Amino acid sequence: MNFQVEYEKLKGAFESRLERTVSDRVPSKLRESMNYSLLGGGKRLRPILYLSVLCSYGIVPRESDYLFASALECVHTYSLIHDDLPVMDNDDVRRGAPTNHKKYGEAVALLAGDALLTLAFELAGKCASSDPIYAEAAYVLACNAGGSGMVGGQAMEFTCGAYDEKTLTDISALKTGKLIEAAIVCGTISADRKENIGAWLEFSDSFGKAFQLCDDILDLDNGERSLAALLGKSNAEKYLCELTDRAVAALDRTDGNTEFLKELTKAVLLRATDGL
Ligand code: GRG
């Protein structure tokens, strides 16, 4: 298996569907703003994790799986647009280009985020109406994205006051970890392999922690509060390698063919040193 070839193939198959996700009925400025962020690059990590869980059990993703994968990417994209707004992180650049509000203004960017979040559940609902197995996946996505998941983590970051190791770990488990967990758990549900959920949750726990740590290490020069800054670069890198090993070991317990996921895990998590 050539990892890079397989990754580009899966990403390409996903993106060709994603291009058709935002309806022509959406008013043109709003549609442009939604597509600007939705189709403006990114690793497509959460959809690829979801689809790879299915593939690990020899399942060829159905059109409804691409729809569900798009729902995950819509939630991720909305979170980035809102996170960049002046009232949150106030960032001007994302993925090397102006942030959504810099290009379209704050009102349109806010609404593009709202519309993408709503679209995610329109897509998940469409999947559930074609096959009831997706109803549970939609429920998991909602739980992990909302106040007790990703949004809750973002809220904690703004309100917690103290930034010790435990608090930073708790914030990242929600803010970053919960959407990654949703991708993996929803893949397990759609594959009808809930008997393997324990191993997938272990994978997701280590992957989520390592993903945030890797992002922190890449961001160390920006002087932001983070676990990597607290641990120091070399300890953070050591811990990142440990978490990556744990994630890869968990994949061996899933009862699937996880060669691709192992390569993906190493490429994504060790990009602080290697690059993807
Ligand atoms: C609900 C407003 C709101 C925010 C939720 C996810 C989030 C919290 C904020 C986004 C900012 C951020 C840096 C989160 C940490 C997780 C992370 C590294 C996100 C970037 O994800 P990638 O690397 O992005 O998958 P690409 O560009 O590849 O899609």
pLDDT tens readout for residues 47-95? 999 999 999 999 999 999 999 999 999 999 999 999 999 999 999 999 9
Residue 138 within any structural domain of the chain: yes
pLDDT at 154 over 60: yes
* Lowest mean pLDDT, pick from 120-129, 218-227, 228-237: 218-227
Residue 212 within any structural domain of the chain: no
Residue 276 binned pLDDT confidence (cut-offs 50, 70, 90): very low
Among 46, 49, 80, 117, which residue has the most ligand 1 atoms within 8 Å of its CB, making it the best to mutate? 80
pLDDT at 133 over 50: yes
Q: What is the C-alpha separation between 18 and 41, in angstroms, rounded?
A: 12
Residues with a CB atom less than 6 Å from ligand 1: 42-43, 45, 79-80, 82-83, 88, 95, 150-151, 154, 175-176, 215
Query: What SS3 state is found at 16?
Result: helix
Residue 244 within any structural domain of the chain: no
Q: Whose CA is nearest to atom 4 of ligand 1?
A: 79
Alpha carbon of 77 to ligand 1 centroid (Å): 8
Report the CATH number that the domain containing residue 82 is assigned in CATH.
Answer: 1.10.600.10
Rounded average pLDDT over 224-250: 93
Average pLDDT, rounded, for the chain? 95
Alpha carbon of 130 to ligand 1 centroid (Å): 30
**Counts for the chain of helices (H) and strands (E), in that order:** 14, 2
Number of domains, the chain: 1
Residue 245 within any structural domain of the chain: no
Task: Give the position, in ligand 1's atom list, of the atom nearest the Cα of 95.
Answer: 27
Residue 181 within any structural domain of the chain: yes
Residue 275 within any structural domain of the chain: no
Among 83, 150, 211, 214, which residue has the most ligand 1 atoms within 8 Å of its CB, making it the best to mutate? 83
Residue 185 sits in which domain range?
A: 3-193
Residue 230 within any structural domain of the chain: no
Q: What is the C-alpha separation between 53 and 137, in angstroms, rounded?
A: 13
